Chains A and B, each alone.
Chain A
Amino acid sequence: MSASQRTIALAVAGAATLLLVGSFFIPERDAAPAGEDAPTSAANAHGSRACAACHADVQAEWAGSPHALAFTDPEVRRLSNDFANQDCLDCHAPLPVFETGIGQRVLPRETDRELGVDCIACHGLPAAAGGGVAAKRDGAAPCAPRMRAELSAPEHCGACHDQHGTVGQWRASRFGAEGKTCIDCHMPVDPATGKRSHAMPGGGALALVQSAIALEARRDADHWTVVVANVGAGHNFPTDERSRAGDVFWRPLATEAGAPVAAWRHVHRMRAPYRHETGLTDTTLPAGERREFAIPFEPGVDAIEVALFYKRTPYWLDPAAPDPDAEARLVHRVEVRKP
């Protein structure tokens, strides 16, 4: 092989390598596709699996998040009848938010559904724009992300989460007025790394729920008073319709060792009804609001305990005799006694 042939061969090989490597990161088309088969998004063409090569730490955080489990979580599979109810797909395996547009709702995707709300769902750009977005521009990175302020805007999250009015609730709260947004609570900055968490804690994170809702009980002149207050959530508590509920219970306190424990008695439920539940009203607790409930004194009861439970599936196995200890998660428990 002559030198010139070697040069050509090297040039072709180099160009081919560049093409193959480059095509991994570069959108296949520059404009809105026209004609047969065009991919709707460059990000779709490559999926989220490639992101871990450079972002293993973020990937690891995300892997345990509700977003990662959006399609595979057993409870989700059960409630959606293994996604035979296709209506659930829109938000549980969405196309990139930027593809359908900020302020628009998402549409379902076909590929990598098992990844749920994956990297490209939030970071992917449509083919016309190309590549992805991040909190800051990084032209040196293989994916060369652009900086787009909308990435951290509540409207970005709202593509799915405002389906239940969460962004609207936030906007009406003091959090909205103060400019404290979704990511301040749900993507807190890790002081060690300075990066925002992709674990995205929500209703499944007990500490976060405990910081959102407060429970107090006191003895008044002729009754016990229970107070529940939304002190930390920038939206209603709970904010999801249908599948979330907060319940306040009380029972006489077993003050002597070995005394039988009384059954919980229901005080109040915080929940938005689903469509078929005729006659129910929305009792979710808006941000910053509090509610008080009076529990009459009963003979022989000198002390009570009050508890707030959080349920991610709203129905009790036996509605006539709910068992919150077994079916819900204890958020707060307080005791109060007669002097």
Chain B
Amino acid sequence: MRNVPTLLRREMNACFASVLGYVVLVFLLVVMGFVFCSSIADLLASGTTQITVMRRFFYWFWLPSLFVIPAITMRLLAEEKRSGTIEMLMTAPVTDFEVVLAKWLGAVVLYGLMWGLTGLYVLILRKFTGGLTSLDFGPIASGYLGVLLIGQFLIAVGVLTSSLTKNQVVAFLISFALVFLFVIGIWFGEYFARGTTFGKLFEYISCFTHMEEFARGIVDVRTVVLYLSASFWVLFVTTRVVESRKWR
């Protein structure tokens, strides 16, 4: 693990050296800004405090993620393979797992920084709702934790798809499809199989269920363990894929 910080730093530099990183950031801020505005408008119109602004804000976290996660992960391994730099990387004294881990970590940090900027919205909310509703920072913090936790798993999936191809567009489309299935597919299953055992199963693994809990300020250790172990497993598979050059 000695080389992870070095590799991570290189990843972060690469993110900010490309235009793509900034485009994705703007995209995220625009989409979540729109969600935020509509929540405020709703709040002002109905005057209720039952669904608070931030809960609704977190509910929509999946919408930008659907595009943001494939966009920030598609490059990671596909580009190294296309340009041949993977050969430079893998013939330096580093292990394959170190490389995969650094790629994933770099994207997670980037994703976290991007969402961190939406913290400005919280400050705006605090300024304008001072009298109307007092903000509870606990659920907001746990909401962000949820965004990061679910995000890091989907990023691991993105790293995996990036390891499967040399083509970034292909990597984007595959991980988009997988993230779509994970979010919308499971939601669909939950909706149509409601009341059955399957419906229950879908409800347990649905990111909507989890996000709902996080946004209410509930941090369930089982959920945290589920997502972390799932990412670990996906990253393990990714390492195998990267190693597969050795037995193909």
On whether the two chains bind one another, the answer is: no
